[in-house]
Structure 1
């Protein structure tokens, strides 16, 4: 089984100008090499048959992706309209400024099959393509953001995967993201 970073994930996980809320201590090439040489601690099913999650103990100093919202940090939440890349429409997002998450215990690598990526216009020369990575305290997935679920339901033309929105999963996502936020 071979794994590569997709053009979609590379600038988000390994930006040209490093940020403290992205993967630390390694290059994109070293990340790919590690994933291809080391078996994950767990493999989880993703939100669709073409999606798998490889759970690896964090071998970097990467910090958790999210921070719980509390009365003591709520005033540090910011929001704005942003697109994940130049081809997507901006959507309302929120994040913390002025907080730092603890170092993550786990890196949960989100993989899409070669066939799904071809449908989405991202041909790869590997079995699986990395589309994202979650940095977590527990060796498990965190719910996809509600807006990502909606974008997926809109289809490939709008930057999604074409997976229909599942109401119960959406409600679990809202519950998680009402209580947590990303940080910068």
Structure 2
């Protein structure tokens, strides 16, 4: 049966077989591609029931605009809070000391309560055997209109050093 086949016929049969094999590969890859596209289409349909891409795009733009507006509101709120925070007491500092050499312990103290702009108050309590006194001296720009004791100046300068370290 095969003995009567001519050499050119063999070539034609082989070429037809190769073409059939290529067609089979293309058909299988086409089916795989179609399944991938169906999955992608199903994903798009889950985004919006009608899969109307223009509507999805419009909704996305609206959502972005809402987020932009909310972001601007939050930015202005943060700016307002930063302004307020600059006027809050930063890092209170306390210094205890012995106001009188004849008494044996550090019962006197000075405390500095200032904001970031170095405005606030220095409170000092001087302890003595017979009496104790408490003083409050206003501070504006790290300077007081009342004379500051060495301890009050030290506690005020300690606040400034602490603030510089925390800003670094």
Q: Give TM-score scaled by structure 2 length.
A: 0.22
Structure that is richer in strand per residue:
1
Larger Rg: 2
Quick check: which one's helix share is greater?
2
**More relative contact order in 1 or in 2 (CA 8 Å, sep 6+)?**
1
